[in-house]
A = this chain, B = another copy of it.
Amino acid sequence: MASQQPKKTQPTPATLDGTDLTILAALVEDGRMTNAALAARVGVAESTCAYRVRALRESGVITSINARLDLGALGHPIHAIIRVRLGSHSREHVGTLYDRLVDVPGALTVLHVGGIDDFLLHVAVASPEELRDLILEHVTVHPMVRQTETQLVFEVRDGRGVLDR
C-alpha cells in the first residue's frame, strides 16, 4: 500500500497552477469523480483535464487513489495508538522494527517520530483482548522495544488539509 509523506519527496517542488490545485482538491474529495465532471468544475476541456490529471499522477503529486473503509463494519471497531519506545536506536534495529510494525495485522499507520517516542502505531482491532494480544505478540515481543503506552482512540477526523483556499 502507498505511504504518506514525509519519506522521499520530489526534488522539484513542482509548479502547480490554480487549475492543478482545483483538480487536486476535487480528487481528494472524490477520487472517482469522472473526468468530464472534473473538467466542468475546473473549466477546461476534457482532454486538457485528462492531460493534467495524468501529469499530476506521473509526477507523483497524486500518489494514489484509495478506497476508505468503515472498519467497524469490518469487525474492527476499536482503535488505539500504541506508542513504542526502543532501548537500542541502531539504524538496523530501528529499521527492522519499523518493517515489523507495518506488518502487524490491523495496523493502519505507523509513524516514525522524534521526541519521547520512536513509533506511533495506529491499529484497529476487534476487541480489547485482541489489542492486548496484538501488543504482546507483535510489539513487546521484540527485544529492542523497551516500553509501550497505549491510548484508546475515541474518534478520528480528517483535518482541512493543505489545500485550503
Contacts and interface: CB of A to CB of B under 8 A. Distances in A.
Interface residues of A, number: 81
A16 B71 CA distance: 13
Given A65-B32, A66-B27, A160-B103, A10 B110 contact: no
12 contacts: A1-B160, A3-B158, A6-B72, A7-B156, A9-B72, A9-B73, A32-B65, A66-B68, A104-B159, A107-B161, A108-B161, A111-B122
A91 interface: no
Given A81-B120, A120-B81, A61 B73 contact: yes
A62 interface: yes
A63 B59 contact: no
A37 interface: no
What is the oligomeric copy number? Answer: 2
Most buried by B among A104, A124, A157: A157
B4 A68 contact: yes
A149 interface: yes
B113 A152 contact: yes
A109 B10 contact: no
Interface of A: 1-7, 9-10, 12-14, 16, 24, 27-32, 59-79, 81, 98, 101-117, 120-124, 149-164
A112 B153 contact: yes
